[in-house]
Structure 1
Amino acid sequence: MAAADRRTSTPAPASPEPRTSQEPRTPPEPRGRRHAVAPGLALAALATALWSGSFVTSRALGDSVPPVQHAFWRWVVALVVVAPFGARRAWRRRALIRRHLRFVLLASLLGVTVYNTLVNQAGVTTPAAAMGMIMAASPVVMALLERAGGVRLGARRIAGLLTACTGVLLLIGWAGGGAGGASPGAGGPLGAGALWMIAAACCFGGYSALLRRRPAGLDGAAFLFTTFLFGTVLLLPAQGVSLAVQGGFTPAPGTVLPLLYVGIASSAVAFFAWNRAISLIGPTRAGVVYYLQPVCVALLSWALLSEPTGWAQAGCTALILGGVVLGAGARR
């Protein structure tokens, strides 16, 4: 009887209270995710800085190395650098790669075959600083694609995105207005070079958003080697046409050293850092950091190519940096 009384006196578990409208709709980021923010931002910043140099080399080699050949040899160098780390890993995961072949081919096409070829084509007529400005449209593409995938961006991140985007648009308008003699490219802001860069920005934004779907078993080194290999193979027909129509280029320190830079630093190192950053903080937050690229490109083109700069550009740079700081924080 006493046991029965104890059983009946045990309080029933409280039923969960209904959710109120004041409760946050989006849970706070997990502790491990928060700890990954700083390394992710640092890796995104490293990739952005290294890619900034590739815009300078695209402009510098525009008159000496045909765009397709520039891209082809860039990826050959990158493939050689990554092979010791990723070839064996990729071979062990060949069954996984076959199962996700469409994903791998699309990532290779957007991020390797097409993206850099378009950038090199733009470099024939477009100043490096203007290329970096136009390329800053890619974070908008990343955010739109991520939102289309069902990811809530948060008010703070959207505000940072818009603030940095405003700075970039003002920077483009400043250059297009001819301040300091700068001009985004042959034919003005909407010249052929600018159109090539807009297409490149869309490709890179699509590639970055696509990284969210990378198979879990395909680690960074294996993924890089696979995409570099497939992307280089996809470039082979265009490389053959370029050699037949335009002829080759003369190897010299002025051509070989820039190709080594873009192959090692702007490809192998930068893509590994960027892909890792995406896995840690997502494409939208990494895309906000990517807004630093026009700032880095402007400084490098001023220092190495003597392209003009001025106070208006410095003001736009401050606006971009403020947007990066605002949008790179925790989602709210």
Structure 2
Amino acid sequence: MSLIAAEKTATGKNATDKNAAENETATERPAPASNHRGAGLGVLLALLATVVWSGSFVATRDMADSIPPVQAVFWRWIIALLAVAPFAARPLWRQRALIRRHLGFVALASLFGVALYNTLVHQAGLTTSAGNMGMIMAASPVIMAGYARLGGERLGARRLLGLLTAVLGVLLLVGKGSPTSDFTPGDLWMFAAALSFATYSALLKRKPAELDGLAFLLTTFVLGALMLAPAYAISLTVQGGFPVTAGTVGPLLYVGVFSSAVAFFAWNRAIALIGAARAGVVYYLQPVCVALLSALLLGERLGLAGAGCMVLILGGVALSSARQRGR
């Protein structure tokens, strides 16, 4: 018995020494490269979503004269959920109990990110230009950073400086060289949309880690469409339907498949990897993308002042996105 006890004691001591050595090695070991790759992927996904959403403002403005806003948004999400369902139906069914447990959170995300945000964007498209829509939406990263700060996240001097630089560039771009501008009703609708989108992005930080991204996405699409259904029925009764032509179906397919299914999945994943505040900095590229698309598709000239504003925006994004040394 004493020999067995001694062997157990020695075995336990060896295991303890081994664990201590492993802990010491882990402490000295540098951060894994996968963290850096994850951050890089997060930035790329945020950039993908930003570029796709930039094109959606052109499509939304194009639909404004032919499709009532609520009807456009409703069909946008019907198309989006049909596009996502083949990939998300199985994880959604597998996690149905988890989704029921967090239904309040998912419904809140659906309200701000699906139903409210996009309705405000389409409403804004009635009385403002696609360029202004994209530029004003660049206000949302400021709100995201504010939410992050309220949540206890330290932004750091470099990120704050980059944030302020990008804000100045956006203000000058909207004001055509002046930090002030006369806003139309559509511009004010877009500011409300920016607040709604920033709130949605802040909510994503609280998404349960075990909740599958595709299952979450499909659930928000379904709930968002259900929230919009009563308003859609009223709009259909009062305003009538819209003509089904290539000019209406084409933009709807773009905003439904790319701007909704693809871009929202990329944005949600980006926030999971790099956080809402850092993803919001990448979102500052949207005015640049919108301006370039407007020049390419609509023949609008940017001008020297606009080019200078873009330099400020790009510089601010680069400064805020750079990783701090030792992090």
TM-score between both structures, scaled by the size of structure 2: 0.87
**In the alignment, what sits opposite 1:225?**
218
Shift in Å, 1:33: 2.9
Shift in Å, 1:299: 1.4
**In the alignment, what sits opposite 2:255?**
262
**In the alignment, what sits opposite 1:34?**
36
**In the alignment, what sits opposite 2:59?**
57
> Structure 1 CA distance, aligned partners of 2:301 and 2:110?
35
Shift in Å, 1:90: 1.1
From the two aligned structures, give the one with the greater helix fraction. 2
> Structure 2 CA distance, aligned partners of 1:114 and 1:29?
40
Cα-Cα RMSD: 1.7
Write the mapping of 1:1-332 to structure 2, written as runs, cut at 5 A. Answer: 31-174=33-176, 189-331=182-324
Shift in Å, 1:239: 0.4
Q: Deviations over 1:233-280 (max 9, x none)?
A: 101011011111111100100110110011111111100111110011
Q: Is the 8 A contact 1:41 1:281 kept in 2?
A: yes
> Structure 1 CA distance, aligned partners of 2:301 and 2:121?
21
Shift in Å, 1:31: 4.9
In structure 2, give the amino acid aligned to 1:132.
G
Q: Deviations over 1:95-133 (max 9, x none)?
A: 111111111000000000011110011011111011111
Shift in Å, 1:308: 4.2
> Structure 1 CA distance, aligned partners of 2:38 and 2:163?
20
> Structure 2 CA distance, aligned partners of 1:175 and 1:266?
30
- Counterparts in 2 of 1:327 and 1:85: CA distance versus 1, 3 Å: same
**In the alignment, what sits opposite 1:15?**
none
> Structure 2 CA distance, aligned partners of 1:167 and 1:278?
24
SS in 2 for 1:36: helix
- Counterparts in 2 of 1:175 and 1:306: CA distance versus 1, 3 Å: farther
> Structure 2 CA distance, aligned partners of 1:163 and 1:176?
15
- Ranges in structure 1 where 5+ consecutive residues have no aligned partner: 1-27, 178-183
> Structure 2 CA distance, aligned partners of 1:176 and 1:197?
20
**In the alignment, what sits opposite 1:6?**
none
Q: Deviations over 1:20-72 (max 9, x none)?
A: xxxxxxxx977543331111111100000000011001111110011111111
Q: Is the 8 A contact 1:33 1:280 kept in 2?
A: no
Shift in Å, 1:157: 1.2
Q: Deviations over 1:148-199 (max 9, x none)?
A: 111111111111111111100111111789xxxxxx9xxx732210110000
> Structure 1 CA distance, aligned partners of 2:201 and 2:59?
22
In structure 2, give the amino acid aligned to 1:293.
Q
- Counterparts in 2 of 1:61 and 1:176: CA distance versus 1, 3 Å: farther
In structure 2, give the amino acid aligned to 1:117.
T
Q: Is the 8 A contact 1:176 1:189 kept in 2?
A: no
SS in 1 for 2:275: helix
**In the alignment, what sits opposite 1:181?**
none
SS in 2 for 1:214: coil
> Structure 2 CA distance, aligned partners of 1:192 and 1:146?
29
- Counterparts in 2 of 1:294 and 1:243: CA distance versus 1, 3 Å: same
Q: Is the 8 A contact 2:138 2:287 kept in 1?
A: yes
Q: Is the 8 A contact 2:61 2:125 kept in 1?
A: yes
